[in-house]
Structure formats: C-alpha cells, structure tokens
Chain A
C-alpha cells in the first residue's frame, strides 16, 4: 500500500464540467418555468392570483396542504 485511502483527493477533472455560459440559458428559462409550475401548485389563488377565481386553489387543495404550503 503506497497511498492511504483517506488521503485520496477526488479528481474533479475526471468529470466534464459544463461551462456556465452553456448552463445559463437553460437555468434561466428552465428554472423560471419550473418555479412558475411550483407557484401554480403551491401559491396561486392564495395570497396572489394570476387567474381569477378559486378553481386552481380548490383543485390542488390537498396537495398544497400536504406539501407544506400555506393554504386558505
């Protein structure tokens, strides 16, 4: 044994790093879209409304309560 296992330094070079330039557009548009979806499940027609009424709130009611979002 020449090298103790504890001292092994993980080599990040062995994995391709995605450059930020390539990542950014995906993160921006994808991330925004995902956040919008989470907003519709978690908060729409509670404190704020984009769509008028209560139908979205009532439809996802159980999921909203159980996933921990404030409701009513």
Chain B
C-alpha cells in the first residue's frame, strides 16, 4: 500500500509539474527575461562582458524549466505520498480527500510560504555569487526549522485539543506555531542583496509569480491525490 501511495504521489506530482510549467511559462517567464536583461545591462554598465551563455535562454525557459518543474514536483509528490501513508488513520481526519488537502495546505505553509517570508524567491541579478553558500544553508535551514515547528505544533495540537477542546486547543496550537516561527526566524540572518537600481515592480511580480506557482503546485497535489485515493477502494475501505 505504501508503494501505491508513493507512486501515486509521484504521478500526481508529475501532473502538477506540467500545470506549474504551463503557468510559469505564461506568467513568470516574462519576469525572468526582464531580470536577465537587467543583469546584462548592469554588466555592460560596469564594463564587464556578459557571461558566456552555456545554455541558451530558449532552452532555459523551455525544456529546462519543464525539467526543473516536473522533477521537483514529482519528488515533492513522492514525499507527499509517503507523508499521506503515514498520516492515514493517525490523525482525526477520516476522508482521504480531506486528509490530502490538509497535508497539502500544511505542506504549502511550512515548506513554501514560511521559508519564503524570510528568504523570498529572487530573480536573476538579485544575490551576489559570493554568498551562495550562506544563502543555500540558511534557506534549507529555514525549511527544516519550519517543518520541525509544524510537526511539533501538530503533536501538541493533539494534546491541547484533548485538554481545552477542539476550538481552543487548535487556536493555541496555531498561536504556538506562529510564535515559534517568528522567534526562530528572527535568529536567522537577514539577507538583502537587491541591487539599488532593480525595478521594484519587477521584483514584486517575480515573487508573486513564485508564490502562485507554489500554491498551484501544492493545490494540484492535494486535490488530485485526494480524489484518486478516495476513488481507489483499496486504501480506505472501512475496516468494520
């Protein structure tokens, strides 16, 4: 059964990847192109010759983006399937559709939204190459912390709801999650490497597009996975 759920997650992830690619191609790529053009003009102004293009823009925004989106989404979908396999029957959500949507929602919050509030997505030309090591480390640390906070809050939610009732217990757990998130993220280093002349509207549009892509990805995962699992009698037949 775990195998089925893992494979289903990957398959759903693949579909989500295609959806995300189509969306990104339509709304996000113009932003990337403008940012790349800005980078080139900055290099030119500094008198540096632009970096030799190893992979053409056409490939980057076509098959490259497709590969990135599909591989990332499928892998995330696989993990989603594994988390679903674990959560099934272990949480107070009995419908597979609802459980899948819950996992997708909480996953979006802890893997995509919270880390990006501290370290938002950056278009090309934002971020200096010297700090890539630090930026990569802090970004993954932010994801790990946010996931740990989510797991802890979910565990505590169980106890709190038992003690204070569903409404108050859940509110307390949410408060705890927000409090821990804010506290932990205040300890993470601030990184702001936006060039002075970089257009604010472009940065805004790029980051919004990045959020929309993540939302679309997790939304598709949750809805499709839940639908397929609900349809498949094997994984959720009533025991009695």
Interface residues of A (CB under 8 A from B): 9-18, 22-23, 26-27, 30-31, 33-35, 37-38, 40-43, 46-48, 54-55, 58-72
Contacts and interface: CB of A to CB of B under 8 A. Distances in A.
Given A16-B89, A59-B64, A70-B132, A65 B124 contact: yes
Q: How big is chain B's contact interface, by range? A: 35 or more
What's the dominant secondary structure at chain A's contact region? helix
A13 B2 contact: no
Interface string B59-98: 1110011011101101110110010011011111110000
B6 interface: yes
B159 interface: no
Q: Which of B60, B128, B133, B209 has most chain A Cβ within 10 Å?
A: B60
B29 A13 contact: no
B136 A62 contact: no
Contacts, number: 177
Given A61-B60, A62-B64, A70-B127, A55 B75 contact: no
Contact of A68 (B54, B61, B86, B210): B210
A62 B32 CA distance: 7
Contacts of B123: 65
B93 A30 contact: no
